[in-house]
């Protein structure tokens, strides 16, 4: 894509990005804030409804207390005098106090008197089945609470009932209760309309199964929300009174419309600004960049550079810098290549012995042993016996000298195509290709004898040392893509080395693998070595006497 096209595309992307940023800001920040505010207000609306219902319950409760703790009511429960009925119960206007029923019951559960607010209220009382049994109120679960005074919402077949109760006591409030006085109000369409007029909210009531959860607010669409609140029903914990408020969302819809208008206006203004910006950038940026491109191509092709641009800005300075860069580039590339090779060699070489290090061995084995055309392999681990004694007695400088001499001796005894590694400390590893167990035994014996005859250390104070050797051979065709990781193979050679040390040192022990790896994998400890030898999955060789036992590590 040419730079002109990229510039046009960049301006379009910038315009779209700004528009998208504004749209996302409104969508992801402003609108969620509006929704959160709406949720807060809906919860406040639900709380207003609950408080209004509680106020009605408190009002009924206050009337119940006024009537219940009154000497006239206390005597009426005892003697049922007609004067109390005529003066207080006949003609009472329950509508004026916001009640549908007034009920007086004896402490034994008998209903002494029931007054309804009218025929409709009487029908609802009958439908509620509160009076179907003489001792219903005494035996009802809510009586344990309301019988001592209080208020609650009850679940009845005629609908939810706001009920407030007070024990019937003398005016002093002392003495034993002779019964209970109730004031009740049904939660019906009339009550709902009364609440709607008081709190000015579109309110609905519904009885639902309990467990609906706490109050919640749901957005049905961008223009309508639905809030649910719940109040418990004392006598039926499996059901609850659901308060429903359905309201419009005017502010949310207004913001959505404004967002659409803003996107259209921004796109229109942005197109005009993009055209002006394109013309300006074409003159001040694109043409100089094209000239710089031509200079860069000439530099890459080895052609003479054209005259630098006679400009006083950064592009002119960049054009002049090409001339300075061309002279230094060739020399820098050669120097970097030399340094890179030196760094690679240093990272894969042991500083003390100049042999390859463990990192090189890991890379070498990881890549080489998985090659499909791999021939036979020999992994040999060598360790100087009692090397720690040299460091402790003669010092680390003599120890380092011994390691360097050991490395030189092994290089002398190995072939040029072999890989010699200082694995760590006094342990060395020799890796050979196309070597079978017979050659491996011969190599191990040659190294063992030469090390025993070699004079290590200083010339005037030579040291006699021995070594222990363990090796593992893979025959032709045993390696390849199905071979397990090199660590499993090297572990077998390492176990052979440990066995040589435990069997008296100054010896070598070798193991040979069959053509295919064992199904259970190569041994990981001395016990598995012994099992593999018993099943002839491995063959062993050693420099020990024929009657000597190999002591495999436990």
As a whole number of angstroms, the distance between CA 226 and CA 210 comes to 19
Give the closest residue to 60 by CA, choosing from 142, 143, 149: 149
Of the two residues 388 and 96, the one the predictor is more confident about is 388
Q: Which long-range contacts (CB under 8 A, 24 or more apart) does 132-140 make?
A: 134/109, 134/110, 135/108, 135/109, 135/110, 136/109, 137/103, 137/105, 137/109, 137/111, 137/180, 137/182, 138/105, 138/107, 138/108, 138/109, 139/109, 140/235
pLDDT greater than 80 at residue 97: yes
358-542: same fold as 38-248?
Answer: no
Q: Cα–Cα distance between 61 and 63 in angstroms, integer?
A: 5
Segment 243-264, tens digit of pLDDT: 999 998 888 888 888 888 888 8
Confidence of residue 59 (pLDDT cuts 50, 70, 90): very high
Distance between CA atoms of residues 353 and 356, nearest Å:
9
For the record, the structure tokens of 233 come out as: 């029903």
Cβ atoms of 179 and 107 within 8 Å: the answer is: yes
C-alpha to C-alpha distances, 40 to 36, 196, 224, 274, nearest whole angstrom: 6, 20, 15, 43
Cα-flanking dihedrals φ and ψ of residue 397, to 5°?
A: -65, -40
CA dist., res. 503 & res. 512, Å (int): 19
Is pLDDT at 372 greater than 70 in this prediction? no
Mean pLDDT of 370-396: 84
Is 50 exceeded by the pLDDT of residue 134? no
**Structure-block tokens of residue 26:** 């409104």
Domain locations along the chain: 38-248, 266-342, 358-542
pTM value > 0.75: no
Q: How confident is the model at residue 367 (pLDDT cuts 50, 70, 90)?
A: confident
Q: Would you call 449 helix, strand, or coil by DSSP?
A: helix
Q: Dmax of the chain from CA atoms?
A: 139
Could you tell me which of 466, 543, 535, 538 has the C-alpha nearest to residue 503? 543
User: Alpha-carbon distance 6 to 308, whole Å?
Assistant: 25
With 70 as the cut, is the pLDDT of residue 132 above it?
A: no
Residue 138 has pLDDT above 60, yes or no: no
Q: For the residues 329-353, what does the mean pLDDT come to?
A: 74
In sequence order, what are the residues at sequence separation of 6 or more whose Cβ sits closer than 8 angstroms to the Cβ of residue 449?
none
User: Mean pLDDT over residues 416-431, rounded?
Assistant: 92
Q: Any idea what DSSP says for residue 155?
A: -
pLDDT 10s digits, 461-518: 999 999 999 999 987 655 555 556 778 888 999 999 999 999 999 999 999 987 666 7
Q: How far apart are CA 319 and CA 305, in angstroms?
A: 10
Kindly report, residue by residue over 167-210, the tens digit of the pLDDT: 999 988 788 888 899 999 999 999 999 999 999 999 999 998 88
Confidence of residue 89 (pLDDT cuts 50, 70, 90): confident
Encode pLDDT of 158-178 as tens digits.
Answer: 999 999 999 999 988 788 888
- The yes-or-no verdict on residue 297 having pLDDT over 80 is no
Query: Using alpha carbons only, what angle is made at residue 145 by residues 139 and 147, rounded to the nearest 5 degrees?
Result: 65
Query: How large is the average pLDDT for residues 293-312?
Result: 69
Task: Place 375 in a pLDDT band, splitting at 50, 70 and 90.
Answer: low
- Per-residue pLDDT band at 266 (split at 50, 70, 90): confident
Q: What is the CATH number of domain 358-542?
A: 3.30.70.270
Whether CATH 3.20.20.70 fits 38-248: no
- pLDDT above 90 covers what percent of the chain? 39
Mean pLDDT over the full length of the chain: 84
β-bridge mates for residue 151, sequence order: 164
Query: How far is residue 468's CA from residue 503's CA, in Å, rounded to a whole number?
Result: 10
332-341 confidence digits (pLDDT tens)? 656 767 677 7
Does pLDDT of 15 surpass 70?
A: yes
């Amino acid at each position: 894509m040419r730079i002109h096209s990229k510039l046009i595309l960049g301006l379009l992307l910038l315009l779209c990005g700004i528009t998208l940023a504004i749209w996302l800001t409104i969508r992801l920040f402003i609108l969620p804030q509006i929704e959160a505010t709406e949720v807060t207000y809906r919860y406040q609306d639900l709380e207003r409804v609950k408080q209004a219902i509680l106020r009605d319950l408190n009002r009924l409760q206050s009337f119940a207390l006024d009537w219940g703790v009154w000497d006239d009511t206390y005597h009426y429960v005892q003697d049922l005098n007609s004067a109390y009925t005529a003066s207080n119960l006949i003609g009472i206007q329950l509508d004026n106090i916001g009640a549908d029923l007034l009920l007086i019951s004896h402490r034994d559960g008998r209903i002494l008197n029931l007054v309804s607010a009218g025929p409709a209220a009487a029908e609802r009382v009958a439908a509620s089945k509160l009076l179907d049994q003489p001792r219903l109120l005494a035996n009802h679960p809510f009586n344990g609470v309301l019988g001592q005074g209080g208020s609650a919402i009850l679940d009845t077949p005629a609908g939810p009932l706001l009920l407030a109760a007070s024990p019937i006591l003398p005016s002093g409030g002392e003495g034993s209760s002779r019964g209970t006085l109730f004031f009740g109000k049904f939660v019906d369409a009339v009550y709902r309309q009364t609440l709607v007029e008081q709190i000015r909210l579109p309110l609905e009531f519904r009885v639902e199964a309990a467990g609906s959860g706490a109050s919640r607010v749901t957005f049905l669409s961008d223009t309508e929300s639905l809030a649910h609140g719940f109040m418990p029903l004392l006598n039926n914990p499996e059901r609850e009174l659901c308060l429903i408020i359905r309201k419009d969302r005017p502010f949310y819809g207004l913001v959505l419309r404004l967002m659409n208008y803003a996107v259209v206006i921004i796109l229109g203004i942005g197109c005009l600004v993009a055209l002006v910006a394109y013309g300006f950038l074409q003159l001040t940026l694109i043409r100089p960049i094209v000239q710089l491109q031509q200079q860069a191509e000439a530099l890459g092709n080895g052609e003479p550079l054209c005259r630098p641009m006679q400009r006083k800005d950064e592009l002119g300075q960049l054009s002049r810098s090409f001339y300075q860069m061309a002279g230094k580039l060739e020399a820098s590339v050669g120097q970097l290549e030399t340094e890179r090779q030196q760094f690679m060699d240093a990272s894969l070489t042991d500083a003390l012995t100049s042999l390859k290090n463990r990192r090189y061995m890991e890379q070498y084995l990881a890549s080489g042993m998985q090659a499909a055309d791999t021939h036979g392999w020999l992994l040999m681990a060598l360790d100087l016996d009692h090397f720690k004694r040299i460091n402790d007695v003669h010092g680390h400088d003599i120890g380092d000298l011994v390691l360097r001499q050991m490395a030189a001796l092994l290089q002398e005894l190995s072939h040029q195509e072999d890989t010699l590694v200082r694995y760590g400390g006094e342990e060395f590893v020799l890796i050979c290709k196309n070597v079978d167990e017979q050659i491996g035994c011969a190599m191990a014996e040659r190294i063992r004898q030469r090390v025993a005859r070699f004079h290590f250390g200083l010339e005037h104070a030579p040291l006699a040392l021995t070594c222990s050797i363990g090796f593992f051979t893979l025959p032709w065709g045993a390696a390849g893509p199905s071979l397990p990781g090199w660590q499993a193979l090297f572990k077998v050679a390492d176990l052979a080395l440990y066995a040589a040390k435990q069997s008296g040192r100054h010896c070598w022990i070798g193991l040979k693998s069959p053509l295919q790896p064992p199904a259970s994998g190569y041994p990981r400890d001395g016990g598995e070595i012994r099992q593999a030898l018993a099943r002839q999955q491995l063959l062993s060789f050693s420099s020990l006497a024929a009657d000597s036992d190999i002591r495999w590590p436990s």
